[in-house]
Amino acid sequence: MNLKKLLVFIVVFTTALSVCMAEEPDAMDFINIIPGQKIPLSLQFPGRCMQGDYDFIKEEVFFSTNLGGAGLFLSTKLLGNKKEDVQTLISNTIPFQNLKDVVKGYSDQPKILNLSLPEADNIPIILSICKGLNGAILCSGKEVWSFDHLIKAYQRNIHLAPGEPRDKIYYKQILHKKGNKLFFPKLTIGDNNFPVLKSYADREFANFTKKAGAMKELEADLNDILTLRSLPIRQENNETLIIRLPVYDQKKCIM
């Protein structure tokens, strides 16, 4: 190899290496936390010129009144642990409650929830929002449908079929507590960046995944996150977590 080709090779190799080294850390955001204290969590509903997560949540909870009513729940679960911390977003009441009204109340300021996190470090924490019929408040084990699957199902009026709509998870993200920091993905997880999240999880949770069944449980949740492609968690002032559930807004369609 002559000198010119060698220099080109070195430049290309070092550039590729630097991109790979930067790719993983850049995929995660974090906030500082005080271990043992609850974390403020805000629910927001950004408008867009197409249906969003909240449109289907609203429809499915509404149509569940035909099945006796349903609640909407936010849960956090430490993988490998059967315990699930659950907060009620919409209670199992009839008539239907609009989550946007419940969260905002009579104020324009979004309601701040208090999120409890498990104490353990370096173990995946799964945050989910799900529907539950007849007191089924836990999100673990419920169905996960892609956005396209939901759209096609509603075009076929599947929600009017007997026993529908079944309980589902509508939002899911992975969190990672490490000392006084809480990490979460910066981007919506799709086919392109899923390998980066998988690589991060394999490294950070290496000790956890040595336990029997742990790797299978982690991979199942990562695949759910890929299927749902929920908007990433945001942070405000390095202390408040923000979950965004998009909703159709006709004004956004005006060019």
Two tokens, residue 192: 């392109």
pTM (predicted TM-score): 0.83
Residue 165 and residue 30: Cα distance in Å, rounded?
Answer: 35
Model pLDDT, residue 69: 72
pLDDT, tens only, 120-153: 888 899 999 999 988 888 999 999 999 999 888 8
DSSP 8-class letter at 117: -
Question: What is 209-238 written as a DSSP string?
Answer: GGSTTHHHHHHHHHHHHHHH-PPPPEEETT
Q: Which residues pair with 84 in a beta bridge?
A: 77
Q: If we measure between CA atoms, which residue out of 192, 240, 198 comes closest to residue 219?
A: 198
Question: What is 32-79 written as a DSSP string?
Answer: E--TTS-EEEEEE--EESS--HHHHHHHHHHHGGGGT-EEEEEEEEET
Dihedral pair phi/psi, residue 220, rounded to 5°: -65, -45
Residues of the chain with pLDDT under 50: 3-23, 25, 104-108
Question: How many CB atoms lie under 10 A from the CB of residue 215?
Answer: 15
